[in-house]
Amino acid sequence: MSPVLAELERLFPPGRLLHKPGELAPYESDALTAFRARPLAVVLPESHEEVVQAVRWCVRHQIPYVARGSGTSLSGGSLPIEGGLLIGLNRMNKLLRLDPRERIAVVQPGFINLQVSQAAAPYGLYYAPDPSSQPVSTIGGNLAFNSGGAHCLKYGMTSNHVLAAKVVLPDGETVVLGSESLENTGPDWLGLFVGSEGLLGIATEVTLRLLPKPETYHTVLAAYDSLAKAGEAVAAVVASGLLPGAMEIMDSLAIEAAEAAVKAGYPLEARALLIVELEGETPQVEAEARHLEAVIRKSGAYEVRVARSSEERMKIWKGRKAAFSAVGRLSPDYIVQDGVVPRSRLGQALAEIEQLSARYGLRVANVFHAGDGNLHPLILYNGRVPGELERAEALAGEILKLCVALGGSITGEHGVGMEKKAYMSEMFAEADLEAMRRIRRALDPLELSNRGKMFPGEAPALRFQGVHPLEQAGVISRE
């Protein structure tokens, strides 16, 4: 063992420092599986102090590092840095405090999103951000990428529900950003930190805002014979003055996959499904439900179903939540894209994505948070077919450029990471990007924290197709 690793071994006991090839293999990739990189080592801290020690070790030896939770990043944001340190936060998974009177929960970064609502449920409270990965994704990762979810239309993103964070800065200093109060004074440092994708530090404690559970829900499933009609229906619902808790769209491929996986009872012949959910006090929801029914009928839906029980509601949502993983039934590989368009341009965006799909000869399954125009096209390809991954990536890039051209964004909630950093210049001028870099360098002059992510031109991770390039060159072994 090298002297550098021996020093790390003195900081972390056996079992919490991993450096052998077989130990590192599970950490080589995240949910963006087209890329892999092998870290020098993985450490598994169990306390704030151990995170500080790991970061200071990296600074002393000028070794880049990345913090990681469950590794569910779809943009490669939690991909390790080749030869760097990976700081795994899954063992920091405690609920430190839950105060139902103040409606807050204080958790460690490895605490699972869904577990927050489960812990708060006995008090009639819940945590609103609900990404599809909520049964497995961690609060630390949600914070890094400002995750949203189906109900972000009404309740906002992670940034709207984080009150404070204890953070280890890239030089090892500890700071507390924000407070338990909803009203803070001075610069919004917490707002700067949330969504910074690990470039500005590592959160080790997070204070979350909890909300009272809605008194009642009204969940509608509407079937359409075209994607464009479903997209236009979203704009019509919002224009009517309604503010649903959630509005989601799935196209025929996503419907097929979800139905095969969880048997949600979706109409398989539909070209598109629209899920609209109202929530709140019963009199208000009942009045809004009548209004919504009229809007949906007028929008051209050929079939409309209303969940009559909590079981039916959960069945509808189970299909939607399972859609991403279920698409694996249709294709050996797929890229999950993440862009945003104005709601008024949804119909146009979907029509153009269909045309792009035909032009590139690749199927695209569409699943998205329609309420805020957050598209999640899933581009299906077979990585074993030469050139098909490159064609899928080119199609993904076309979709991002389309989103920007329509007045939207290259990401809604998945972050930039590795996947979209080349497209940052499509959305931002060079002066804007340089301002972002200056902020990053002010906190991390050596650019150690999650190096190579977000900014175009920085060293890429290794793309993986079959045999790892370093393995092929005889540099590493998988034995």
Q: 216-224 and 272-280 as β-strands: parallel, antiparallel, unpaired?
A: antiparallel
Q: How far is CA 377 from CA 98, 157, 352, in A?
A: 37, 20, 12
Q: What percent of the chain has pLDDT over 70?
A: 95
Segment 405-439, tens digit of pLDDT: 999 999 999 999 998 999 999 999 999 999 999 99
Domains of the chain: 97-212 (3.30.465.10), 216-405 (3.40.462.10)
249 and 274 Cβ atoms separated by less than 8 Å: yes
pLDDT band (50, 70, 90) for residue 477: very low
pLDDT band at 327, cuts 50/70/90? confident
Whole-number Å distance between alpha carbons of 113 and 392:
31
> What are 137-177's pLDDT values in tens digits?
999 999 999 999 888 889 999 999 999 999 999 999 999 99
Please give the Cα distance from 204 to 53 (Å, whole number). 13
Question: What's the whole-number mean pLDDT along residues 48-68?
Answer: 97
H/E stretch holding 306 reads strand 303-306
Name 29's Cβ contacts closer than 8 Å, sequence gap at least 6. 35, 36, 37, 71, 79, 464
Q: Closest by alpha carbon to 334, among 226, 228, 419?
A: 419
Band (473; pLDDT cuts 50, 70, 90):
very low
Distance CA 250, CA 200 (A): 35
Instruction: Render 369-428 in DSSP notation, one character per residue.
Output: EGGGTEE-EEEEE-TTSTTHHHHHHHHHHHHHHHHHHTT-BS-SSS--TTTSGGGHHHHS
CB 454 within 8 A of CB 64: no
**For the whole model, what pTM was predicted?**
0.90
Instruction: Please say if the pLDDT value at position 220 is more than 70.
Output: yes
Mean pLDDT on 247-265: 91
- Structure-token pair, residue 187: 């610069």
Per-residue confidence band for 461, with pLDDT thresholds at 50, 70 and 90: low
Percent over 90 (pLDDT), the chain: 77
Instruction: Determine contact, residues 78/71, Cβ cutoff 8 Å.
Output: yes
pLDDT digits (tens, 9 = 90+) for 369-410: 888 889 999 999 998 999 999 999 999 999 999 999 999 999
pLDDT in tens, 17-50: 999 999 999 999 998 888 899 999 999 999 999 9
CB neighbourhood size of 98 (10 A): 19
Written as one string, the DSSP assignment of 376-387 is -EEEEE-TTSTT
Question: Which carries the bigger pLDDT value, residue 185 or residue 266?
Answer: 266
How high does pLDDT run on average in the chain?
91
Nearest partner of 87 among 203, 208, 258, 241, judged by Cα? 203
The predicted pLDDT at position 184 comes to 77
pLDDT at 308 over 60: yes
- pLDDT tens, residue by residue, 186-217: 899 999 999 999 999 999 999 999 999 999 99
What Cα–Cα distance (Å) separates residue 389 from each residue in 250, 337, 358, 437? 24, 14, 16, 31
How large is the C-alpha radius of gyration of the chain?
A: 23
Is the pLDDT reported for residue 478 higher than 70? no
The predicted pLDDT at position 155 comes to 92
CA distance 91 to 47: 9
For the segment 114-133, what is each residue's pLDDT rounded down to a tens digit? 999 999 999 999 999 999 89
How confident is the model at residue 389, as a pLDDT? 92
Report pLDDT for 459: 60
Residue 466 has pLDDT above 60, yes or no: no
Query: Does the pLDDT at position 463 exceed 60?
Result: no
Residues 76-92: tens digit of each pLDDT: 999 999 999 999 999 99
- Rounded to the nearest 10 degrees, how much is the dihedral formed by the CA atoms of 295, 301, 302, 303? -80
Question: Which residue is associated with the tokens 């269909």?
Answer: 354
Strand, coil or helix: 88: strand
b vs e for 331-344, b when ≥16 Cβ sit within 10 Å of the residue's Cβ?
A: bebbbbbbbbbebb
Which stretches does DSSP call E strand in 10-155? 17-18, 35-36, 41-43, 65-68, 85-88, 95-99, 104-107, 125-126
Which of the pair, 228 or 110, is modelled with greater confidence? 110
| 331 sits in which H/E element | none
| Ramachandran bin of 280, using left for φ above 0, alpha for ψ from -120 to 50, beta for the remaining angles | left
448 touches 454 (CB < 8 A): no
